[in-house]
Structure 1
Amino acid sequence: MPDNTVLGPRDVFELLLKSLADRDLATMIGLYAEDAVVRQPFAKPTEVVLTGRAEIEQHLAGFSTAPVALSPRNIEVRETAEPQVVVCEWDNDVTRTTDGRSVSTHNIAVLCVRDGQVVWSRDYHDHAALAGLLS
Structure 2
Amino acid sequence: MPDNAVRDPREVFELLLKSLADRDLTTAAGLYADDAVVRQPFAKPAEVVLTGRPEIEQHFAVFGAAPITLSPQNIEVHETTDPQVVVGEWDNTVTRTTDGTTVTTHNIAVFCVRDGRVVWSRDYHDHAALAGLLS
Query: TM tier, shorter chain?
Result: over 0.9
Percent identity for Structure 1 against Structure 2: 80
Following the alignment from structure 1 to structure 2, what is the Cα–Cα distance between the partners of residues 66 and 48? 18
Unaligned runs of 5+ in 1: none
Aligned residues: 134
Q: Quick one: which amino acid aligns to residue 85 of structure 2?
A: V
Residue 126 (1) aligns with residue 126 (2): yes
Q: Where does 1:1-135 land on structure 2 (aligned, <5 Å)?
A: 3-135=3-135
Unaligned runs of 5+ in 2: none
Following the alignment from structure 2 to structure 1, what is the Cα–Cα distance between the partners of residues 120 and 30? 14
Following the alignment from structure 1 to structure 2, what is the Cα–Cα distance between the partners of residues 17 and 36? 17
Runs of 4+ in 1 over 4 A off after TM superposition: none
Give the RMSD, CA atoms, in angstroms.
Answer: 0.7
Alpha-carbon offset, residue 4 of structure 1:
2.4
SS at match of 2:90: strand
Following the alignment from structure 2 to structure 1, what is the Cα–Cα distance between the partners of residues 92 and 20? 11
Following the alignment from structure 2 to structure 1, what is the Cα–Cα distance between the partners of residues 3 and 64? 28
Alpha-carbon offset, residue 5 of structure 1:
1.4
Alpha-carbon offset, residue 108 of structure 1:
0.1
Following the alignment from structure 1 to structure 2, what is the Cα–Cα distance between the partners of residues 17 and 65? 17
Alpha-carbon offset, residue 77 of structure 1:
0.2
Following the alignment from structure 2 to structure 1, what is the Cα–Cα distance between the partners of residues 112 and 63? 23
